[in-house]
Amino acid sequence: MTISSTTKDFILSSLEKVGVDNRKLAAIAEGAEIYGPEGLLDSIHLVGFIAEMGEWLEARSDASESFFDILDGDLFENFRNIHQIESLLSRRFSDVSFSS
């Protein structure tokens, strides 16, 4: 799967806003696990990241449901790595432009 640079930039920017350091951002950009046994984020950063993305998306999406309501069954599975996040965004938020 090829991730668009604007979507990738959006994801990394959201991570940066919640205080994820440059070393972890670089690893995540390369596909490192974000959540899970080998995940780079602790629970505080993960929840902050999800909330940051949710607020941004809710302000720009035509969806009538909240970001958390839209997420598929296993909330955290959507955030295992950057590719799964991109897949979620393309499936559920195709109406949103992720460019600045």
**Predicted TM-score of the model (pTM):** 0.84
Instruction: Give domain status of residue 98, yes or no.
Output: no
Q: Which domain holds residue 80?
A: 5-92
Lowest-pLDDT range, 3-7, 8-12, 25-29, 52-56? 3-7
Block residue for tokens 């590719």: 83
State residue 3's pLDDT score: 53
Residue 48's region, left for phi above 0, alpha for psi from -120 to 50, else beta, is: alpha
Instruction: Give domain status of residue 97, yes or no.
Output: no
Instruction: Give domain status of residue 99, yes or no.
Output: no
Instruction: Give domain status of residue 26, yes or no.
Output: yes
State residue 32's pLDDT score: 97
Average pLDDT over residues 43-53: 92
Rounded (5°) CA angle 4-32-72: 70
Where residue 94 falls among pLDDT bands split at 50, 70, 90? confident
Q: Give the total number of structural domains in the chain.
A: 1
